[in-house]
A and B are shown apart, each in its own frame.
Chain A
Amino acid sequence: MNNPSAPAIRFEKVSRHFGDVKAVDQVDLEIGDGEFFSMLGPSGSGKTTCLRMIAGFDRPTSGSIHLYGKEVSSLPPYDRDVNTVFQDYALFPHMNVGDNIAYGLMVKKVAKEERQKRVDEMLELVQLSGFAGRKPSQLSGGQRQRVALARALINHPKVLLLDEPLGALDLKLRQQMQIELKSIQKRVGITFIFVTHDQEEAITMSDRIAVFSQGRIEQIGSPSDIYERPASAFVAGFVGTSNLVSGEVAKRIIGSDQTFSIRPEKIRLGSANDKPAADMLSLDGIIRDVVYLGLYTRYLVEVDGSVDLVVIEQNLKTTSMDVLSAKGQKVRLSWHKDHMSRLGG
């Protein structure tokens, strides 16, 4: 029944409606075997609903979901070879760490010695050896997170679903767990589907990202694709910050009033009489605002008296004194023509 050459997950025109709300609207999607795939989007964009339909907590209103070629849309969660790491971890409070991790094996009636052996392996994988006897309430957020991961992985699922698992952790721990998750994924070789609203997290860990908005996928691609060649104004705005230029100014630069996007860090800030190179595009403006951020400085440059462009420059040679005095100066902005992307919508 299972076809190893089939994609790990395939959505075929999947919709999920809640009354009049189209939480997921005609989504087609393929996720490859062994991929680290992120579903990125703001809350209410349909990414979590997609994840819940893969897990079996929710069923599509229409369309079908295939797991390695096998239609699973109407199977209950306990008959699917996928496991979930929950946003709130969902550890059983009345069981200790060892019993929590062994739960999947226990309900499948795996022998006790085998269970013990695999729990020990898992505890080692998530670096929690010696914690088997603790109760979840005695663990820190990061440790609970690891237990939830071990509890899901012990069943050797075909696909692991992660529902914003790092959301509750502080920044340092989150960055550490991002690297750890990625390395665990490489070691176990399981397809990971990761739901997040944090674009940096998605870019750090993923092989591919699907950007969701209003129940639809706006763009699917590698992190660099998504960042450097956003397909729509939504993607350009949601993943990182972007300057969107349209109308008269766009016409002057690219010869048509089609909207294009240019990232703040790709724009060079030069003095008003700089001569840009042949493959560079340029615009004159006045610095209206300066925000000194330590590592870099953010400038707000007014162009044509109408458009404001955000420019970011690293403080390689400049100090806070230098940058703050730049307010009101006339500048010439320039960027490489390959660095901007024309948007379809």
Chain B
Amino acid sequence: MLNRISTYFYQRPKLVLAIFLTPPLLYMVVVYLGSLFSLLINSFFAIDDFTGMVIREFTLKTYLQIFTPANREIFMRTATMAFLVTIVDALIAFPLAYYIAKFASPKLKTWLLIAVTIPLWSSYLVRVYAWKLILAKEGILSWFINLFHLTGALDWLLSLPGIGGSSLSLSPIGMFIVFVYIWLPYMIIPIQTALERVPGSLLEASSDLGAKPSQTFRTVILPLAFPGVVAGSIFTFSLTLGDFIVPLTLGNSKFFIGQAVYSYQGTGGNIPLAAAMTMGPVVIMVVYLLIARRLGAFDAL
């Protein structure tokens, strides 16, 4: 009996494929793309200013609200933060990923990869709150800075207009530090994976052909690791773009996109505007991916 069943399926590979593929495909189309689509639809509705009810009629009115100076500023602030976080994460992650991929012994490699991913085992909220305490005025970081008699430098940093604040935890600098920390694993892992796939013989060949280490880095390592950097930057950039916990917990009262979406759909009760605001990061990411493709980031995939 069992034999006959397996023979039946063996002779019909397409049926087997259909059985295995249907559930994930359904999930993907209905739940995942469906919710994105309903988001898109909602962004073309508007709210009645008087009753606060959603009017289900096509309009571009909601999108126009995005371009008010206040909202434009939110977009700029968030995109700038996401951009800087991505750059700094890439700069920190690259040497680490390179070391893990090319120099660490197999045993050390396992330990380093565990060390990189360990923060992801604990709740993201807990880590953000932990950072709030670390960065607080009476926190461990300012105690440490005081130990090295650098309080003056910290005060100067916090007095800078735009990025300063009354303490690290209440300034954009603090928020930046936490963003860089919290998304770093998402940058290290893709770069490490990309570098892992570069055979050691390519680096030897480059050196053999007369390239100094810096030339090998520029002409061989960097181009081959670039898809990994782009993959990592997609994570860090989009995660920063959509996050609302970090701006809510740290920094000053100035809004970020995620925060704005959160308050519009919650206390504001303005679902269409929240949806339209959400489409912002989506559009930014699409443009970002197109640029990355133009730069050849996906050629080596």
Contact = CB atoms under 8 A, between A and B. Distances in A.
B201 A104 contact: no
Q: For chain B, what secondary structure do more than half of its interface residues adopt (helix, strand, loop), or is it mixed?
A: helix
B224 interface: yes
Interface in B72-125: none
A57 B204 CA distance: 7
A83 B201 contact: no
Interface residues of A, number: 24
Interface stretch (A88-96, A209-217, A249-257): A88-96
Contacts of A82: 208
B60 interface: no
B207 to A, nearest CB: 4
Given A77-B204, A84-B205, A86-B201, A93 B210 contact: no
Contacts of A76: 207
A78 B204 contact: no
Contacts of A171: none
Contact of A78 (B201, B207, B219, B224): B207
A192 interface: no
A103 B206 contact: yes
B39 interface: no
A83 B209 CA distance: 6
A84 B208 contact: yes
A93 B300 CA distance: 8
Interface in B217-233: 219-220, 223-224
Nearest to B296: A94
Interface string B193-207: 000000101101111
A78 B212 contact: yes
A86 B202 CA distance: 9
Nearest to B197: A93
A90 B224 contact: no
Q: Among B201, B202, B205, B219, which residue has the most Cβ atoms of chain A within 10 A? A: B205
A134 B9 CA distance: 43
Contacts of B206: 92, 103, 107
A172 interface: no
A155 interface: yes
A94 to B, nearest CB: 5
Given A107-B215, A107-B219, A94 B208 contact: no
A108 interface: yes
Contact of A108 (B202, B208, B210, B220): B210
Nearest to A57: B204
A86 B201 CA distance: 7
A146 interface: no
A92 B202 contact: yes
A102 to B, nearest CB: 10
Given A77-B208, A108-B210, 18 more contacts: A56-B207, A57-B204, A57-B208, A77-B204, A78-B212, A86-B201, A86-B205, A88-B201, A90-B202, A90-B204, A92-B206, A93-B300, A94-B299, A103-B206, A103-B209, A103-B219, A107-B211, A152-B209
28 contacts: A55-B204, A57-B204, A57-B208, A78-B209, A78-B210, A78-B212, A82-B208, A83-B208, A84-B204, A84-B205, A84-B208, A86-B201, A86-B204, A86-B205, A90-B205, A92-B202, A92-B206, A93-B300, A94-B300, A103-B209, A103-B211, A104-B209, A106-B219, A107-B206, A107-B209, A107-B210, A107-B215, A155-B209
Interface of A: 55-57, 76-78, 82-84, 86-88, 90, 92-94, 103-104, 106-108, 151-152, 155
Interface of B: 199, 201-202, 204-212, 215, 219-220, 223-224, 299-300
